[in-house]
A and B are shown apart, each in its own frame.
Chain A
Amino acid sequence: MTITVPPKGIGPLARREARLAWGLLLPTLISVMLVVILPLLAIIWISFKPVTLADLRTAEPIIREDLRDADEAKPYIRYRIRNSSRSDPIFNVVFSDVVPEGVTLLSTPDGCDLDGAVLTCDLGDLEPGGRITLEVPVTLEEGGAIKDGTAPAITGSAQNVLTNGEFTLANFIAIFDAREFWTVVGTTLFYTVVGTLGALIVGLFAALLLNKSFPGQGLLRGLYLFPYVAPVIAVAFSWVILFDPFSGSVNALLIQMGVTEQAINFFGERPLALIMVTVFEIWRYFPLSFLFILARMQSIDTDMYEAADVDGASPFQKFRYLSLPMLMGILSVLFLLRFIWTFNKFDDIFLLTGGNAGTRTLTVNVYEQAFALSNIGAGAAVAVIILMCLLTFSWFFFRFMSKEEGL
C-alpha cells in the first residue's frame, strides 16, 4: 500500500489563482500608487527644497511679433522676447517664424538664419526678467495686404527648482526654530486627545441611551447621526453663525440669561477658540463612536445579563462588570482610529477659525505655511513631521490590531 502525501509547494492552480488575484488588484494598486505613494514621496522630496508658490510656474520665454510700417521711416518686423520668471534664467532660447508673403527681409540679425521663408534665431541664454528686442528691416510689396498667418514658435530650457539637484535643510530649521512650533504641537495634542476621548465618552453615553427599544428609537438614532453625515462646510458655518459675537443666538441667549455681560467671541479668543473647536470635533464625531458601540452592545449575549440579574447585580454593577469589559475591545480600536483621524483633521478647524486664535494644529500649519505664507517647502516639511508621527501611531495601531482583531 502506498502512503499518500499531500503535494508540497505551489501547484500550477495556486499560481494561476495568485496571478488572477494580482490582476484583479492591479488597477487599484496602480491608482493608489499614483495618488498616494507618489505624492508622499514627492512631499518628502519637496520638504528638502527651497520652493515657494511662485516657483511652481516654470520660467518660459514669451515672444511678441509686430510689423512696424505705419509711422516708421523704414518698415521693420519687431520681435520682443522676455523671460516670464524674475528668478530663473532660461537657456538656449531659439525661436523660429515664417516670414509672411509679400515681405522681404533686407538683412538678418546676428545669430539668425533665413531658410526659404523660415527665420530661425538662436538667442542664447535669457537672464531672469531679461528682455531682448530684435528689429529686422524689411521691404514690403506695394499694394498687397500683408497677412501673417503664423505665430512665432519659441523654445528654451529652464531649470525648475523642483527638479534640480539643489537641496536644503532650511525648511526644517525654519519650522523647528519658529516660536509658535511648540505651541502648534501643544494645540494639536490637546485637540487630538480631548477630541478623541470626548467623542468616545459622549458616544458611549448616547449608545447607552439608545440601547433599548422604544417608539421613536429609530428616529432618534437617525437624528443623532446627522452631525456626522451632513457636509462639514454646512455644519461648520452653522456653528460660526450660531456663536457669532455680534448677532449669534447663543450670545444673545447668554446675555439675556445673565451669564455674561458682554458678547463672547467664541471662535476668536485664545483659550476659548481651541475649546470650541474641540467641542465641535466631539459634536461632529460622537455619532461614529456611538454607532460602533451600539452595534457592539446589541451583539452582547443577553444570557449574561440574565445571569447577573439572578445573582442580584445592580444596573451600575452590570454596566461596570459586564458591559464595559465587553466593550473594551471596540473602545480601544475606536480610540486609536479616532486618535489618528483627529490628528489628521484639517477642514473643521480651517472652516471654523482658519487656524487663528490659538487653534493652529499641525495640519492647519501645512496649509498656512504652503499657501498663506506661499512657502511650499516649509509646508512640506510640516507634512513630513506629520507623517513621522503617523508612522508611530500606525505602528501602535497594527501591534494592537493583531491582538484585537475585528473591525
Chain B
Amino acid sequence: MNVFWHSSVTGPIIGVLWSFVIATTVAVLLSFTTGDAFRPGLIGCLFMGGFAGIMAVQPVSRVLVAACAAILAVAFSYTAVSPVHVAGNVGHGGHWAAGIAFGIGLAWPVRVMFDGCPKGVLGRHEWEAAVIRFLTGVGYIFFTAAVAIPFYVMVMTSLKTQGELIANPLDFSIDFNRGWELLRSYEELFRDFNFGRYMWTSFYISVLTVLITLLFSIPGAYAVARLRFKGQKGLSRSILLIYMVPMIVLALPIYIAFSMTGLRNSIIGIVMIYPVTTIPVALYMLQGYFRGLPAEVEEAGLMDGLGRLQVIWKITLPLSLPALASVSLYVFMIAWNEFLLAFMLLDDPSKFTLTRGIASLNSSEIPRQHLMAGAVIATVPVMVMFLGLEKFMTRGLTAGSVKG
C-alpha cells in the first residue's frame, strides 16, 4: 500500500490518465475545428503521461516542463508512437498545433495537480489534494464538452449548406467568408415556413399563460401561506400531487374532450390548458415566498384599516416583486418550451406554436439545417432571457422544484 502513495507511482498514474483525457480532447477539438483527421495514440500517451507524472514532483520550473513536453510531443507526432496521431495529408501546422496543445495541456496541469507535493511518499492530504485536482480538471473538460457540443452542433448545422454537411460531418468550422449567406436557412424559415408567425403565436401564448397563471396563483398562494383554515395542509399537499400526474395521461382525455367540443386546433384551447399545468408550480413557488415575508407588516396594514385584498395588493405584492419576476420567467419558459400538448392539439399550420412548427420540420423532405435553424430560433430567446436574468431564474428553479 505504501508504494501506492509514493510520488513516483501516483504521479505517472495520474499523468497517464490525464494524458488520455488531454489527447482525446486535443484530437476531438482539432478534428472539429479543422475537419482533418486527428486521433489519440495509446503508446504515446503512456510514455508522455509517465514522463509528465515523474517531472511533476521534480524541482524544475513549470514553464520548462511544459516546453519540454510540447517539444517532445511535436517530435513524436511524426513517429508511430505519437500521443496524438496526425493524418498523413495534414501539413506541419497540424503537427505543431497538436503537439504543442497536447504538451502544454498535459504537463502544466499535471504539475499544478502535484503542487506542494514532496518527492517520495505522499501524505494523505497531499495525495487526496492531487487526486481531487485531477478529478476537477477532468470534470471541467467533461461537463463543458458534454454541454457545449450539442449546442454548438445545433448552431453550426443551421449555418451550413446541405453539401457541406454531407461532405465532411467532422468539420465544425464556420466559414465566415460566406457573409449573409450563412443565415440562408433562417431567412427561408421566416420567409417560406412562417416562422415569424409561429414565434409571435408562441410569444403571446406564453405571455397570456403567465398572466393567467399569476391571476390564479397569487390569491391561491396567499391563502395557503397566510390564512388559517381547515384543510390547509392537505391542500398544499394535493398541489404537489398534481406535479406527479404525467402530462401524457392528461393529454389523452383532453384530446378527446377538445375533439368533441371543437376546441382542438384552436389557440383558445391551448391558452386554456397551459395555465393549468403551470398554476400548481407557480402557487407552490409563491406560497414559499409569501411565508418568508414578515407577517407584521401585513398586520400593521390590517390595523390601519385595510381589507385583506387591499393588504395583498398594497403590501404583499410590492414586497414580492422579485418572486413574481422569477415565477413569471419560469412560467414563460415552461409555456415557450411546451411541446406535447401543442403537438397533439394543433394540426393547422396557421396556428402552430414554435415548438409545433419545429416538429413539422422533422421530415425527410426538409433539409436538416432548417430543422436546426428552427431549434436555434426556439432556443435563443430562452437562453438570452436566462443568461440576462440568471439570478431570478436560478431562484425560481430552486424554489419551484420544477417539473420537467
Q: Which residues of A contact B (CB under 8 A)?
A: 14, 17-18, 20-22, 24-25, 27-28, 31-32, 34-36, 38-40, 42-43, 46, 56-58, 162, 205-206, 208-209, 218, 220-235, 237-239, 241-242, 247-249, 251-253, 256-258, 283-285, 288, 291-292, 295, 314-316, 337, 340-341, 343-347, 351, 363, 366-367, 370, 376, 379-380, 383, 386-387, 390, 393-394, 397-398, 407
Answer yes or no: B77 CB below 8 A from chain A CBs: no
Shortest B88–chain A CB gap in Å is 13
Pairs of residues from A and B, 3 with the lowest C-beta to C-beta distance, nearest first: A344-B246, A234-B375, A18-B229
For the complex, would chain B's binding face be called helix, strand, loop or mixed by DSSP majority?
helix
Q: List 10 A-B contacts (CB under 8 A).
A: A25-B220, A39-B253, A42-B253, A229-B337, A229-B383, A237-B358, A238-B154, A249-B169, A285-B404, A346-B246
Check if A229 sits within 8 Å of B393, measured CB to CB.
Answer: yes
Check if A31 sits within 8 Å of B216, measured CB to CB.
Answer: yes
Check if A238 sits within 8 Å of B169, measured CB to CB.
Answer: no
Given A18-B230, A36-B250, A233-B359, CB of A239 within 8 Å of CB of B150: yes
Shortest B189–chain A CB gap in Å is 13
Residues in chain B near residue A43, CB distance under 8 A: 249, 252-253
Nearest-CB residue, chain B, relative to A393 = B244
Nearest-CB residue, chain B, relative to A42 = B253
Check if B339 sits within 8 Å of A288, measured CB to CB.
Answer: no
Check if A233 sits within 8 Å of B355, measured CB to CB.
Answer: yes
Answer yes or no: B242 CB below 8 A from chain A CBs: yes
Nearest-CB residue, chain B, relative to A296 = B398
Nearest-CB residue, chain B, relative to A345 = B246
Residues in chain B near residue A205, CB distance under 8 A: 139
Answer yes or no: B379 CB below 8 A from chain A CBs: yes
Check if A337 sits within 8 Å of B401, measured CB to CB.
Answer: yes
Check if A27 sits within 8 Å of B333, measured CB to CB.
Answer: no
A347 to B344, CA, bound (A): 11
Shortest B344–chain A CB gap in Å is 8
Answer yes or no: B351 CB below 8 A from chain A CBs: no
A226 to B382, CA, bound (A): 10
A51 to B195, CA, bound (A): 37
Q: Count residues of B near A (Cβ-Cβ below 8 Å).
A: 104
Nearest-CB residue, chain B, relative to A370 = B252
Residues in chain B near residue A233, CB distance under 8 A: 337, 339, 355, 358-359, 375, 378
Answer yes or no: B340 CB below 8 A from chain A CBs: yes
Residues in chain A near residue B273, CB distance under 8 A: 35
Nearest-CB residue, chain B, relative to A337 = B401
Residues in chain A near residue B102, CB distance under 8 A: none
B106-162 interface with A by 8 A CB criterion:
124-125, 128-129, 132, 136, 139-140, 143-144, 146-151, 153-154, 157
Check if A232 sits within 8 Å of B28, measured CB to CB.
Answer: no
Residues in chain B near residue A343, CB distance under 8 A: 246
Nearest-CB residue, chain B, relative to A34 = B276
Which of B235, B249, B372 gathers most chain A CB within 10 Å? B249
Check if B252 sits within 8 Å of A347, measured CB to CB.
Answer: no
A367 to B341, CA, bound (A): 12
Residues in chain A near residue B386, CB distance under 8 A: 222, 225, 229
Check if A229 sits within 8 Å of B333, measured CB to CB.
Answer: yes
Check if A17 sits within 8 Å of B227, measured CB to CB.
Answer: yes
Check if B256 sits within 8 Å of A46, measured CB to CB.
Answer: yes
Check if A27 sits within 8 Å of B216, measured CB to CB.
Answer: yes
Check if B404 sits within 8 Å of A228, measured CB to CB.
Answer: yes
A226 to B232, CA, bound (A): 36
Residues in chain B near residue A366, CB distance under 8 A: 248-249, 252
Check if B250 sits within 8 Å of A35, measured CB to CB.
Answer: yes
Residues in chain B near residue A251, CB distance under 8 A: 169
Nearest-CB residue, chain B, relative to A259 = B39
Cross-interface CB contact of A241 among B147, B280, B368, cutoff 8 Å:
B368
A383 to B254, CA, bound (A): 13
Cross-interface CB contact of B242 among A32, A228, A258, A393, cutoff 8 Å:
A32
Check if A209 sits within 8 Å of B136, measured CB to CB.
Answer: yes
Answer yes or no: B310 CB below 8 A from chain A CBs: no
Answer yes or no: B99 CB below 8 A from chain A CBs: no
A343 to B248, CA, bound (A): 12
A161 to B128, CA, bound (A): 69
A61 to B345, CA, bound (A): 26
Check if B153 sits within 8 Å of A223, measured CB to CB.
Answer: no
Answer yes or no: B223 CB below 8 A from chain A CBs: yes
Answer yes or no: B397 CB below 8 A from chain A CBs: yes
Check if B250 sits within 8 Å of A39, measured CB to CB.
Answer: yes
Answer yes or no: B76 CB below 8 A from chain A CBs: no
Nearest-CB residue, chain B, relative to A212 = B136
